[in-house]
Amino acid sequence: MTQFDYDFFVIGAGSGGVRAARTAAALGARTGIAEARFFGGTCVNVGCIPKKLYTYAAHVSHDLADSAAYGWQIATPPVFDWSRLKQNKDKEISRLNGIYKNLLSSAGVTIHEGRARISGPNRVTIGDRVVTAQHILVAVGGQSFMPPIPGIELAMDSDDFFELTRQPQTVLIVGGGYIATELAGVFAGLGSEVTLAYRGPQLLNGFDQDIRAFFTDAIKTYTQLKLNTDIERIDESGNQKQVRFADGSTQVFDAVLYATGRVPATANLGLVDNGVTLSDVGAIIVDKHFETASPGVYAVGDVIDRVTLTPVALAEGQALARRLFGGREQPEHKVSYDLIPAAVFSDPQIATVGMTEAEARSCHRQVDVYRSRFRPLKHTLTGRDSFSLMKMVVDRDSDRVVGIHMAGADAAEIMQGMAVALQVGATKTQFDQTIGIHPTAAEEFVTMRTPVDV
Ligand code: NDP
């Protein structure tokens, strides 16, 4: 029998890769991992974690503004120091990098720093080193997609955002999805003037229609929103960027940020040469066991472009490692893609689990919708023009709650618990039987009694 250097070799130490490697090593597999850039991948370095830190910074400005209503007098005008925030963020991210590396080495995973590619059956080349492995996992994630308009090289992507050492006073954000809406809230909260240009009529495609309408209105209170807007070109204009919109108008900004989606990072990995097949968008095609068309080569996470969220990559990496090294097929070797909760850390926050109203209506005979829009208690004193929206979608025949959606403070924290309820098939009656916690926003979900008329 051929003796390989490794039982399992992982290319990419992001969320999915690290989880797979650690799980495999814990199950006794001789495991190696290669990483070209930074340990922890997009989420830890230029995604979820630093983004959330910036949203905290942005929220401080709201708290300062609201403080007078609660009796506080802030004596001197508060000053925000972007570079201090960046330094502190960098320090925390490099601490996390170290933690990720330690987690791998203490689990017994051998780390190879450098860019890896598949160089033959069971072979991976990292720089001038070649290693052999019985199983190879590709977990390299994705990268920003920016449409090829003239001057696009003058625009930033979300990676560049986290490297900004100075705050742009005026910024154009292009896109209407997760990153565009989140960074609009961050820039505006920190005091930049934000223009958001989106090609469609309403932000956050794919989310429930009421949430989209509510959010599209809410974001207008702190951004210049340009809907149905395309950008034709970007030019240098001194230290600024001049943007020409498709309607012929031009405007100048300190910075332009594109958040127009991400694509799988499948180039230069030796994939196609070694029998791995890719989809039209360059995603690795895998079967239900995450195996590619090349036997013994697997892929998980953003690179397979199924559900591009960190917790999904973690679940996929873990399921694969358990299936390969954990003995007989077990239920935990499968990933359930049903009822994946998600949150957008925008201002206001948005969170969701299950079906939108439109999805529910397309597959259930009769659907009841419960909806509540209210001013949160906190803002009864501040007078801030800030509302929350909560919505439940119920299949009337089975009484099952099939979708829950929220826009408002703490939506993400609230939705995690709602996701458990939906996982276990909770009915509307069971929600109604649940005692609320008063006074909270979350109690709305157990006190909604009257469906809206449709
Ligand atoms: P999204 O897919 O969320 O949004 C992309 C946006 O860009 C959409 O509004 C899309 O419009 C628009 N767009 C796409 N192509 C073009 C184009 N050629 N010209 C103009 N506009 C275009 O991607 P993001 O980049 O915001 O984020 C990438 C992914 O990362 C997310 O989908 C999500 O999976 C993940 N993510 C998750 C976060 C979280 O969990 N909180 C936070 C950030 C990212 P249209 O809708 O019309 O197609």
d(CA 426, CA 347): 29
Ligand 1 contact, 309 CB (< 6 A): yes
Per-10-residue mean pLDDT for the chain, 454 residues long? 91 98 98 96 97 98 96 92 98 95 96 98 97 98 98 98 98 98 98 98 98 98 98 97 97 98 97 98 97 98 97 98 89 88 98 98 98 96 94 98 98 98 98 98 97 87
Residue 230 confidence (pLDDT) = 98
Cβ–Cβ under 8 Å, residues 45 and 93: yes
Cβ–Cβ under 8 Å, residues 229 and 199: yes
Cα(197) to centroid(ligand 1), Å? 13
Domains and CATH numbers, the chain: 6-144+263-329 (3.50.50.60), 152-260 (3.50.50.60), 342-446 (3.30.390.30)
Nearest atom (ligand 1) to Cα of 259: 25
Please identify every residue annotated as catalytic.
438
d(CA 219, CA 350): 12
Q: Which of 23, 2, 1 is nearest to 10 (CA)?
A: 23
Q: What is the DSSP string of 146-213?
A: ----TTGGGSB-HHHHTT--S--SEEEEE-SSHHHHHHHHHHHHTT-EEEEE-SSSSSSTTS-HHHHH
Ligand 1 contact, 343 CB (< 6 A): yes
Residue 370 confidence (pLDDT) = 98
Ligand 1 contact, 180 CB (< 6 A): yes
If you take atom 39 of ligand 1, which residue's CA is the nearest one? Answer: 344
Cα(66) to centroid(ligand 1), Å? 32
Ligand 1 pocket, mutate which of 53, 143, 179 (most atoms under 8 A from CB): 179
If you take atom 23 of ligand 1, which residue's CA is the nearest one? Answer: 261
Residue 416 confidence (pLDDT) = 98
Cα(205) to centroid(ligand 1), Å? 9
Ligand 1 contact, 262 CB (< 6 A): yes
